[in-house]
């Protein structure tokens, strides 16, 4: 699977945004680590949903003859990459859960 550098940079920037919000050395009294992680997951989920909806929207415009073929291919490709990424993350989470369940108590 090839990685698009623009998507990788965008993902890195999105992940780094919550961490750069507070100055270095600031206390975590205002927002705990769970709040940051929850926000990161929520943001990533919303971005994935928006990408998939954008691909669907462009496909509908192409069917109606209102969109350029290049825009349609770009949107559908971005949606496909997003779906593959979500499926990979899901598989890794399931694998990690199964490994934790196999650990002796």
Mean pLDDT value across residues 20-36: 50
Q: Are 102 and 71 in contact (CB under 8 A)?
A: no
DSSP symbol at 23: P
User: In the structure encoding, which two tokens stand for residue 82, read together?
Assistant: 């997003």
Q: What's the pLDDT score for residue 90?
A: 92
The 10s digit of each residue's pLDDT in 67-98 is 888 998 999 999 999 999 999 999 999 999 99
Q: Poorest-confidence range of 14-28, 31-45, 61-75?
A: 14-28
**Contacts (Cβ under 8 Å, ≥6 apart) of 72:** 58, 59, 61, 62
Q: pLDDT exceeding 90 applies to what percent of the chain?
A: 44
Q: What's the pLDDT score for residue 39?
A: 87
């Amino acid at each position: 699977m090839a990685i698009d550098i623009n998507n990788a940079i965008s993902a890195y920037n999105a992940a780094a945004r919550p961490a750069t919000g507070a100055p270095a050395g600031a206390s975590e009294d205002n927002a705990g680590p769970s709040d940051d992680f929850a926000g990161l997951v929520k943001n990533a989920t919303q971005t994935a949903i928006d990408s998939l909806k954008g691909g669907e929207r462009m496909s509908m415009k192409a069917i109606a003859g209102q969109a350029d073929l290049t825009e349609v291919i770009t949107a559908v490709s971005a949606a496909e990459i997003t779906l593959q990424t979500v499926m990979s993350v899901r598989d890794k989470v399931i694998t990690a859960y199964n490994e934790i369940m196999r650990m002796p108590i």
